[in-house]
Amino acid sequence: MEPEALEQLGLTKGEAKVYLALLRLGASKTGAIASEAGVSSSKVYKILDRLERKGMAGHVLAGGVRRYNALEPRRILDWVAREQDALAARREAIERMLPALEKQKQPRGESEASIYFGVRGVTNFYCNILDELKPGECYRVIGAGYGDDIPGLRNFFYAYHKRRAKKRIRVKMLANWEVRDNLVQTTRKHSEIRFLPQYLATKMTVVFYGRKVFVIILAREPVGFLLENEEAAKSFQAYFDAFWKIARTAKA
12-32 confidence digits (pLDDT tens): 999 999 999 999 998 899 999
3-state secondary structure of 210: coil
Residue 96's pLDDT is what? 79
DSSP H or E run through 193: strand 191-196
192-220 pLDDT tens trace:
999 888 777 677 889 999 999 999 887 77
Residue 97's pLDDT is what? 74
d(CA 71, CA 68): 10
Q: What is the dihedral of CA 229, 194, 244, 226, to 10 degrees?
A: 10
With b meaning 16 or more CB within 10 Å and e meaning fewer, what string describes 83-121?
A: eeeeeeeeeeeeeeeeeeeeeeeeeeeeeeeeebeebeb
Residue 252's pLDDT is what? 45
111-246 carries CATH number 3.40.50.620 = no
By the 10 Å C-beta count (0-12 exposed, 13-18 middle, 19+ buried), 185 is classed as: exposed
Q: Record the pTM.
A: 0.58
As a whole number, the mean pLDDT across the chain is 85
Q: How far is CA 5 from CA 16, 20, 82, 193, in A?
A: 8, 11, 19, 37
Every domain of the chain with CATH number 1.10.10.10 lies at 1-105
Instruction: Say if residue 1's pLDDT is above 80.
Output: no
d(CA 189, CA 204): 23
1-105: CATH topology: Arc Repressor Mutant, subunit A (1.10.10)
